[in-house]
């Protein structure tokens, strides 16, 4: 007896199925922090370069800062389901504020100015994330 035409074919495990099963996240959510980390690292390296030549230090700064942001973002996505909405919003705000403060500090701004910019933008992200979580959850 043949199957109906609308029946889906049996799915084969893809190349990332083991990774997604271990992390408990779909491929799109794993790719998002990786792509953000790549752009963040490139941006940090280009800000630090200040229009001069590309050096090994610029490349190392870009690779390390991009990897750190990607790892922290992936870690936050992995544990976000276990956090209450207030703490989850604070975590996303902290990650965003620290990341933007670091980029602002690379432009040559003072530590105080970069800290204030990171705190203001992180507070805005925390408020926006809390609003989204509060209006879309029970």
Residues 6+ apart with CB under 8 A from 43: 103
Q: Each residue's pLDDT tens digit in the chain (138 positions)?
A: 566 666 665 566 665 556 566 666 677 778 899 999 999 999 999 998 887 888 889 999 999 999 999 999 999 988 988 999 999 999 999 999 999 999 999 998 899 999 999 999 999 999 999 999 999 987
125 close to 96: Cβ distance less than 8 angstroms = yes
Residues 6+ apart with CB under 8 A from 130: 85, 86, 89
* pTM of the predicted structure, to 2 decimals: 0.79
Round to the nearest angstrom and report the end-to-end CA distance of the chain.
Answer: 46
């Amino acid at each position: 007896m043949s199957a109906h035409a609308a029946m889906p074919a049996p799915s084969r495990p893809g190349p990332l199925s083991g990774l997604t099963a271990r992390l408990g996240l779909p491929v799109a959510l794993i790719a998002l922090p990786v792509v953000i980390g790549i752009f963040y690292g490139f941006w940090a390296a280009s800000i630090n370069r200040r229009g001069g030549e590309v050096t090994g230090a610029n490349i190392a700064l870009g690779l390390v800062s991009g990897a750190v942001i990607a790892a922290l973002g992936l870690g936050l996505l992995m544990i976000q389901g276990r956090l209450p909405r207030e703490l989850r919003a604070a975590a996303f705000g902290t990650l965003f504020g620290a990341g933007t403060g670091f980029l602002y500090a690379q432009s040559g701004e003072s530590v105080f100015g970069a800290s204030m910019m990171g705190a203001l933008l992180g507070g805005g992200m925390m408020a926006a994330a809390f609003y989204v979580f509060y209006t879309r959850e029970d």
